[in-house]
Structures are given as C-alpha cells and as structure tokens.
C-alpha cells in the first residue's frame, strides 16, 4: 500500500510520532526476555528499585548530618567513600509512606549526568534482574515512578532517576 504523503508540518509530526510508537512497540516486543538489572531496596514499607547503571555506591550509613531547617524528605548529608551526598527519603518525598521510616540503615548513592544523590533505605534487597516483560505501568500517580516490576517475590516501584532529580524541590533555588 502506498504510504500517505504528508502535506503539512502537522502531518509530518503526526507521522513521525506514529513511526516512533511503532518502533517502540517493536523494540519492546523483541526485548521481553531482556533482563534489566536494578538495585532493589526497601524504605518506609515500600520496595523500590533503580537501574543498576545509576548506582555508584551502596553502604551502611554511619554518619548522617541533619540539615538545619531542612525539609522532612532530606534526612541529611553524608560522605561515603568520597561521595558527598544529600540523603533523600524517597517515600517521604513522593508521599508514599506506608509506615514510618523506622531504621535508616543504608544509603544508595545514585548518579545521573554528574549529579549524585543518596537514597536512604532500611534494607538493600540486592540486585534484581528485572525481565522487561515483568514491567508494567504504575498507576500510583507519580511521574517519578512511571513503572513497576512484578517479580515472583517482589513488587518493585521503579524510580525514574532523571525525573526525580529534575524535581524543583531538588534544584538550586534561583535568586
């Protein structure tokens, strides 16, 4: 069948979007068996995961310096193996707390485009190879967690780190 010839800029844009969507569907279909390594952790009763490629360090949290006058979702700063990071309580930040963060024991240092942030965790659950087929959209209403992964023993909320770091609450305030 002959392809429709676009006649205007809008038509071209629509056509490009359709092609992109087709390509995306095709890629997803072929990659359903692909394993996407994530680091899973538990915080405030929720199980979260971030792609392994963003994780630069994970450690027990020994020293946490609280931020005077800081918001409740920023627990403090810590220096871990040369990484100086603010420690974010993801559940509080995203208003997803199921129960109080009882025992902040670990910190996951994540990095994106040269910027680093610490994610606090009660427990590190380990590295999980998430099959692409196990990923589905998450309807929790946060743009920072667009997807979830349902694994045999875990239900992981997949953090969109670039989206998280671009949140205005984590930006330098413009003077």
Partner 1 sequence: MDELLREVIDIFVAEVREQADRISQALLTMEQQPSTIPTEIEELYRQAHSLKGSSASLGVEELSQLAHHLESVLLPVRRHRSSLTAEMVDLGLKALDAVKLRVVGLLADNEVGLAEVHRFAEQLEQLAQRNPLPDPTVGAQALADSSAAPDDLRSDDIGEPTFAGSSEAPDSVRVSIEKLAALIQHTDDLRRLRGQLERHQSEVTTMLRGLEKLLRTNAKNGDPDPKRTDEEIQHVVRGLRAMRRDLLDDIEGLQSTTGELDDGLRAIQLLPAALLSQPLHRAIREACRSTGKEATLVLRGEDVFLDRTLLEAIQTPLLHVVRNAVDHGIEDVAVREAIGKPAVGRISVTIEQRGSQVEITVEDDGRGLDVTRIREVAIKRGLLNATEAARLDEQESYQLLLRPGFSTKEETTTLSGRGVGLDVVNTTVRKLHGSLTLESTPGAGALFVISVPLTVAASRLLMLEEQDHTFALPLPAVARIALPRREELVQFGGQTVYYIDGQPHTVLRLSKLLGQTHSGDVPNRQPLLILRGASGVAIACDKLRGEAELVLRPLPIELRRFPLLSSVAIVPSGPALFVLSPQGLLRTVGSLRMAHDARSRRRTVLVADDSITTRSLLRSVLEGGGYRVRTASDGDEALRIARSEPIDLVVSDVRMPRLDGIGLLQRLRSDPRTSTLPLVLFSGANNDEDKQRGLAAGASAYLAKSDFERGQLVDVVTQLLQEAGS
Q: What is the smallest separation between the CB atom of 166 and partner 1, expressed in angstroms?
A: 11
CA dist 95 and 34 (Å) reads: 31
Q: Which residues of 105-141 are buried (b: 16+ CB within 10 A; e: fewer)?
A: ebbbbbbbeeebbbbbbbebbeebebebebbeebeee
Query: Is 172 among the residues that bind partner 1 (CB under 8 A)?
Result: yes
Q: Between 52 and 170, name the residue whose CB sits nearer to partner 1.
A: 170
CB of 75 to partner 1, least distance (A): 12
Q: Which of 15, 52, 64, 132 binds partner 1 (CB under 8 A)?
A: 64
Contact (CB, 8 A) for 91 and 122: no
Asked if 60 is part of the footprint of partner 1 (rule: CB under 8 A), the reply reads: no
Q: Give the phi and the psi of residue 86 in degrees, each rounded to 5.
A: -80, 145
- Residue 62 in tokens: 């020994």
Does residue number 70 form part of the binding site for partner 1 (CB under 8 A)?
yes
Q: Does 26 bind partner 1 (CB under 8 A)?
A: no
Q: Which residue from 117, 121, 125, 130 is in contact with partner 1, where contact means CB under 8 A? A: 117
Residue 173 CB, nearest approach to partner 1 (Å): 4
Report residue 42 as tokens: 């538990």
Binding residues vs partner 1 (CB under 8 A)? 63-70, 74, 77-79, 84-86, 115-117, 169-173
């Amino acid at each position: 069948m002959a392809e429709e010839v676009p006649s205007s800029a809008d038509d071209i844009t629509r056509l490009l979007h359709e092609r992109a969507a087709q390509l995306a569907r095709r890629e997803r279909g072929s990659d359903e068996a692909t394993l996407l390594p994530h680091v899973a952790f538990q915080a405030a009763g929720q199980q979260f995961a971030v792609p392994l490629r963003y994780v630069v360090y994970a450690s027990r949290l020994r020293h946490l310096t609280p931020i005077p006058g800081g918001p409740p979702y920023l627990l403090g700063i810590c220096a871990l193996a040369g990484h100086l990071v603010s420690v974010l309580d993801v559940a509080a930040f995203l208003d997803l707390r199921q129960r109080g963060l009882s025992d902040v024991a670990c910190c996951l240092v994540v990095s994106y485009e040269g910027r680093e942030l610490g994610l606090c965790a009660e427990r590190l659950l380990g590295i999980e190879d998430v099959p692409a087929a196990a990923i589905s959209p998450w309807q929790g209403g946060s743009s920072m967690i667009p997807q979830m992964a349902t694994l045999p023993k875990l239900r992981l909320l997949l953090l969109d780190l670039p989206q998280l770091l671009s949140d205005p609450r984590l930006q330098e305030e413009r003077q």
